[in-house]
A and B are shown apart, each in its own frame.
Chain A
Amino acid sequence: MNKAYSRTRIVVMLGVILALIMADHLGSPTFAFNSGQGNVETALMQRDETACAPCGAPCPSTRD
């Protein structure tokens, strides 16, 4: 059965996604912290327990 995809395209696509993830990570506070830089604030457990929705939205009652 002929494949409906190009192998090269798949590898390139995944490579691009990985490169984007790496580029984002290398510029992040977490990478800076892991590299031994002090004075950076990382957010490994990103949570705002006072938020009113999973996206971090505030409660309508707290809005002006």
Chain B
Amino acid sequence: MTDSAVLQPDLQQPPWQVDRFIVSTALAGFALLGGLIWLETAPFMVVLFVVGTVLGMALYHGAFGFTAGWRNLVVKKRGAGMRAQLLLFAVSSLIMVPMLHSGQAGLVGAVAPVGTSLVVGSFLFGIGMQLGGGCGSGTLFTVGAGNIRMVVTLVFFIAGAVLGSIHLPWWLDQPGFDPVPLVNSFGVTGAILVQFIGLGLVAWWVNRIERKAHGSIERDELLWKSQGHGVLRTLVSGRWPFTWAILILAAGNALTLAIGGAPWSITFAFNVWGAKALEVVGVNMAQFEFWTWDYPAMALKDSVLTNIPSVMNFGLLLGAMLAAGLANRFNEASRNRPEGRQFLAAVVGGLLLGYGARLGFGCNIGALFSGIASASLHAWIWFACAFAGSLIGIRLRPWFRLPN
């Protein structure tokens, strides 16, 4: 009882234990970094740091993993995780597409070119998701929660992202065309409706798989109430029903757009961190075309504290750490030490994730979630190709001694 405090003993429920060391360390890190951002940048960056922290908590407490949701559908034929993602996309689309086209200056959607780079990148990313054990957000929040194997995935994610940035100009020269915002063809309401039809069709396909395998559908994604605990305890220590996570994630992405001017993205920061590390050891990144483009060049030259994806990622890591401490589950996933091939999967998966994210213009957050919330065609192609890659990754998992 030295490390944990019993907050609410109850005869009906197991006592609520908090890992006080992890919680206080996460809060200290939050205060220190938040103070630094406040002193050195601008108030809007502090707000984005807080938004990132809340998103990290939502991802952890909601167990909102894209990777596991896809794998559950393929392996266990259960679709609740997948339907939760589709609901998230629908809610965000409803909020953010009108925001982006409200005429307010300075808002830019997550749109990207459609072509070879996108198809290859998202396909590789899908394989990497299943081998690495997470997508962009999944990797970050599990690292924040103390998962050692995911630290390896993150390191190689960063390495793959930098390699992808060096190769991206070549891939962009392969067949492809400019971004296709659905709003240009269908208008704001039409684009939302087209996306709802698309999401509905995917949901119908998911339901069909689940019903065929089990005879009925588990509607976990529609649960509002926590299982077994009161609202306050569930809010603080998890696990959140999917609906809570969906609302927080959708609101978080919309806030990011309103405050930062662009939707939520994660993996660009990995590029910046990796490129900065290479510059420290003497590599001149300006020799690579990617790092001469305006945005990457600005981000590389200035402090990470002025780069929105980096600041939000720092918040996300600390938010997940705080949530894991409140749930008394920090480092829980690393109790059984991963063996050699599992680490190899993290290395290979991480490289594929990073390389794929750069070629595919982002991860499940930047390309898929924010892309659909911006009504961009590239997000749908990303979804299809990453899912196809994920099928291969799932088949490869047993060789790496990863459970399916």
Contacts and interface: CB of A to CB of B under 8 A. Distances in A.
Contacts of A34: 40
Interface residues on A, range: 35 or more
B358 interface: yes
A60 interface: yes
B294 A24 contact: no
Contact of A60 (B115, B146, B366): B115
Contact of B361 (A49, A57, A59, A60): A57
B192 interface: no
B172 A63 contact: yes
B234 interface: no
Contacts of A5: 146, 330-331, 334
Contacts of B3: 3
A11 B312 CA distance: 21
A14 B115 contact: no
Interface string A24-43: 11001111001000000011
Contact of B306 (A10, A14, A28): A28
B33 interface: yes
A16 interface: no
B25 A30 contact: no
Interface string B289-302: 01001111011011
B198 interface: no
Contacts of B40: 25, 30-31, 34
A31 B290 CA distance: 25
A60 B177 contact: yes
Interface residues of B, number: 63
B288 interface: no
B108 A25 contact: no
B301 A43 contact: yes
B262 interface: yes
A18 B29 contact: yes
Contacts of A10: 21-22, 25, 146
B168 A63 contact: no
B331 A3 contact: yes
Interface of B: 3-4, 19, 21-22, 25, 29, 32-33, 36, 40-42, 45, 106, 108, 110-113, 115, 146, 165, 168, 172-173, 176-179, 261-263, 265, 268, 271, 276, 290, 293-296, 298-299, 301-308, 314, 330-332, 334-335, 358, 361-362, 366, 370
15 contacts: A1-B4, A4-B331, A4-B332, A5-B330, A24-B304, A51-B293, A54-B361, A54-B366, A55-B165, A55-B268, A57-B112, A57-B168, A57-B293, A58-B293, A60-B178
Interface of A: 1, 3-5, 7, 10-11, 14, 18, 21-22, 24-25, 28-31, 34, 42-61, 63
Given A46-B298, A57-B112, 11 more contacts: A4-B335, A5-B330, A5-B331, A28-B303, A43-B299, A43-B306, A46-B306, A47-B261, A56-B296, A60-B173, A63-B173
